[in-house]
Structure 1
């Protein structure tokens, strides 16, 4: 039995597909996606934005391909970035074929609005020929007319029926390398639709609360909706939809996964909200550290607590911790630094931030060195076994 069963998440069993080299579904980690908002035909601007996303750790990036200039630009974009690219296609089947030929790793389509059965077959043929997977994207705001007439409004049943209708079109063309999303801006509607879809099929699910809003409201809505589903084991890849810089979507996505212990990337900071007991300016310190540690992709945990009430306890659970040693009115008191949960040494306020950055960078380097050594030993062991 698990020591902490309340932390266990039993992932839904789904089949696995690939978006380029990135596995989605099955036992693969939950991946984080975002979407560019540059004009796709502007290759330089789009590549620059994708590279910022890559620095933030994004796994997959989607670009819109509404016209031929966009799919032509896509051909150059995929050559200049390292993450797999999904081409977002609506209505025009030729754009899907062009995107597959241009190097897209995945096509985001609705088979039902591509056109005739022959056009769908052409798109599937192009996907097979060029190794593309697909995503069926159902949105509560654009359900098929016959489903709205049948159900009277967007509801979970209508969304799931739409998803399964589109899935059958691909299945009838002997194509099963696809994932499905059933997004809504209403949290309850989206959650209910995903829960029902998870029961109805075994395809990987792309989670999202669509049109969630600006950074603050959108983060809250997305965290509630996707956190709700992820805790139940539902979801194989996520996109946080914010009316904000797409890089923020990546950061929030990883924060959601880190909060649920599903992915570990970068520095996880545990910090108090601060009060009159704080021995240093906690809020400003955290703000600066988040910026100065953003370049670290290695999982490292850091606790920043303003006083000794909860500081030592939180430090026991993190790689590095610091606890305020006095009050803002008494800044001469040294702050206590904890290493691997144990009190280690003191540091004053003036040098504290630089000192923490140095400790975290060294810890990250140690973790990476240990990881490289373990991988090297495993490779050497496998080689020895093969030789024998």
Structure 2
């Protein structure tokens, strides 16, 4: 099955980052620091930037957090979105402090008049607004109508608020999310919304869980949607350090063929044929190459069955055997080394490959 073309959507702007309309799918995350702690928040955002985070969201639970944005924003290099719940006045304060966008759940802002106040402030600031519909905080009338947060209820909520914000208030710098902790409800909601609207969508499975279960749930739901051409920006929500969210997000984008950044590592599973410390070798390769931003595919293989074939398919690959190993570059054996030299020789070839690729003429 081939990945479908991206769904045509409108273009919205979060600061200087364009979302939708064929622009690259944007990776987001959210800080876990107390926003009022400026130094810790800035440090975490800078770490996330290094990992490939392109838009950051921070919690704004009170006025002090809103005011802290005045100090945070000048010290970071990516647009900042203020996460607002319950109190519309915090949205206004965050925008005055320089926030490039807002995430609001209209269901808990309490009333159209308060939502109107938020939108008018966003209009003055030129900020993007995400309508964040969530299964855990759906409007009471929709819960009564559907009995529980069905995908159809999430879609109706999103369309209702779009009709008010875009139709009645005339504000179009808007994107939408429809999140559930259930994989299939999430997929169904995004599919139906995308069938009925051309506004860009922010993908995510809410409350997905810890690093392993959250990664599996997010990869399944987001992988399905991205393969169907649905999705303009995404966050992988994990009960884990935010840096892991960004790493998983990029792995999903690479696996679906939507975007490439950094290293893609192909590695064989361990088995009785393996005669080298493959797990240790893999972990060290992953650690040493983690900081690379240039897209490159490498292979770390441990036996003679599939090893040479997979290694040949990578930009740079290694195939280990008893006491020796082969290094491949773009299908060609370039070195045969002793096992104890395998890691250093492999890393040297990666450096050479990247340096030579830099000199290659760029095709448009």
Instruction: Report if TM-score (shorter chain) is over 0.5.
Output: yes
Matched, 1:355 2:345: yes
Matched, 1:237 2:233: yes
Q: How does 1:84-103 map to 2 (within 5 A)?
A: 84-103=79-98
TM-score (norm 1): 0.90
Structure 2 contact 3–229 (Cα < 8 Å) conserved? no
Matched, 1:163 2:158: yes
**What is the aligned-residue RMSD (CA, Å)?**
1.6
Distance 1:83 1:368 in 2: 26
Count of matched residue positions in the alignment of Structure 1 and Structure 2: 363
Distance 2:155 2:307 in 1: 47
Match of 1:134 in 2: 129
Structure 1 contact 11–232 (Cα < 8 Å) conserved? yes
TM-score (norm 2): 0.96
Distance 1:112 1:8 in 2: 34
Deviations 1:50-90 (A, max 9, x none): 11111111111110101001111111111101011110001
Distance 1:213 1:113 in 2: 23
Residues 1:89 and 1:366: Cα distance change in structure 2 (over 3 Å): farther
Match of 1:366 in 2: 356
Match of 1:22 in 2: 17
In structure 2, the gaps of 5 or more residues are none
Match of 1:263 in 2: 259
Deviations 1:136-163 (A, max 9, x none): 1011111110000111111011110011
Structure 1 contact 112–166 (Cα < 8 Å) conserved? no
Match of 1:50 in 2: 45
In structure 1, the gaps of 5 or more residues are 1-5, 379-388
Structure 2 contact 105–134 (Cα < 8 Å) conserved? no
Distance 2:340 2:73 in 1: 46
Match of 1:273 in 2: 269
Structure 1 contact 111–170 (Cα < 8 Å) conserved? no
- After the TM superposition, list the runs of 4 or more consecutive aligned residues in structure 1 that deviate by more than 6 angstroms: none
Match of 2:328 in 1: 338
Superposition deviation, residue 345 in structure 1 = 1.4
